[in-house]
Amino acid sequence: MRLLVWLFRAFVFFTLFAFALNNQQNATVRWFFGAEWQAPMVIVVLAAFAGGAAVGVLAMLPSWWRERRKSRLQAPPPAVPAPGPAPAPVSELPLEHPPREGL
């Protein structure tokens, strides 16, 4: 199974690498007020992907924090063991079988 996963990863890597090699021509991104940015097309695509992923994560954070806070409030408090007699030391416990050597 691990071999299949690594083969799939290698396939994805080489596919993206071939995409990058085939898209080396410059692309111009025109911003507001006449600002321009020129870079290879693969860099523009990568920057757009990274920017979209960052915006998606930032948009998800408030609901994630809200759900985390709700789950913390709904979780039962940790159980505290009731005080009782102290457990017997290991040396005083009866042994049903003699200890085995080498384990």
Could you tell me the residue ranges of all domains in the chain? 11-74
Would you say 45 and 23 are in contact if contact means Cβ atoms under 8 Å apart? yes
Q: Distance (Å, rounded) from C-alpha 3 to C-alpha 28? A: 41
Name the residue among 41, 19, 21, 18 with its Cα closest to residue 29: 41
pTM: 0.53
Would you say 23 and 37 are in contact if contact means Cβ atoms under 8 Å apart? no
Per DSSP, the three-state class of 1 is: coil
Place of tokens 């992907």: 49
* Per-position pLDDT tens, the chain of length 103: 889 999 999 999 999 888 888 878 898 989 899 899 899 888 888 899 999 999 999 999 999 999 989 888 887 777 777 777 766 666 665 657 666 776 5
